[in-house]
């Protein structure tokens, strides 16, 4: 009996360990499932060339690129954004995080703030946002919350792209609003604008 009594706690400990292991395995499976669900929506992102290379989109993107030049002029990563409703530009912005010491001062954030003020409404239900670089997770969350109808971006962001490249927050199945996305509008020009900036900055650091 003594041996049996001593063995019982060991058996209980083993059972508890197995239970924890099963719970951890289940949790990991749920995380993987969630990530899979998030990324699987990326197929809903349309490439600009598949949309017939819409010249209207190209025109607005060129204006966003001009704003990006303002960012570059003050040492910011050259990203520009505009918000359009009924063919009118109601908001615009360019990266200012470094100069304003504000991590939220991305081009999309500033353009959305201005647009919301002009509309006197934090919901931009009929708006299209044009931005030269694919939005990051922070900006993607803002766009969902602001009920933007459509996003058109230029360069794909392989590191933090949150509208289809790394993840797809704006079409996530669990969220209460989903946004139409067109990527790659003037992709080569937008990508060159950003890569040229970083090449120049590396040269300056070496000199």
DSSP state, 153?
Answer: E
Q: Of 18, 76, 108, 189, which residue is the catalytic one?
A: 108
DSSP state, 163?
Answer: B
38 labeled binding residue? no
Between CA 134 and CA 183 the distance in angstroms is 8
DSSP state, 52?
Answer: T
108 is catalytic: yes
17 labeled binding residue? no
Give strand ranges (E) for 52-192: 80-85, 88-94, 128-133, 150-155, 180-183
Task: Collect all residues with Cβ–Cβ distance below 8 Å to 132 and sequence separation of at least 6.
Answer: 61, 64, 65, 68, 78, 79, 80, 81, 107, 153, 154, 155, 190, 193, 194
Task: Return binding residues for Zn(2+).
Answer: 106, 136, 139
Binding residues: 106, 136, 139
Q: What residues are labeled active site? A: 108
């Amino acid at each position: 009996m003594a041996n049996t009594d001593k063995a019982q706690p060991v058996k209980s400990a083993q059972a508890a360990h197995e239970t924890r292991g099963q719970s951890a395995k289940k949790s990991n499976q749920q995380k993987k499932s969630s990530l899979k669900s998030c990324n699987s929506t990326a197929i809903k992102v349309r490439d600009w060339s598949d949309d017939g290379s819409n010249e209207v989109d190209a025109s607005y993107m060129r204006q966003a690129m001009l704003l990006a030049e303002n960012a570059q002029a003050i040492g910011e990563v050259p990203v520009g954004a505009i918000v359009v409703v009924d063919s009118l530009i109601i908001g615009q912005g360019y990266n200012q995080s470094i100069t304003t010491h504000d991590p939220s001062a991305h081009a999309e954030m500033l353009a959305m703030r201005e647009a919301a003020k002009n509309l006197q409404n934090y919901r931009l239900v009929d708006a299209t946002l044009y931005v030269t670089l694919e939005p990051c997770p922070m900006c993607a969350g803002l766009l969902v919350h602001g009920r933007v109808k459509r996003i058109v971006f230029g360069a794909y962001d392989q590191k933090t792209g949150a509208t289809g490249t790394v993840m797809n927050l704006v079409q996530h199945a669990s969220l209460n609003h989903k946004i139409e996305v067109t990527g790659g509008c003037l992709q080569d020009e937008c990508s060159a604008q950003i890569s040229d900036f970083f090449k120049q900055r590396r040269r300056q650091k070496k000199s």
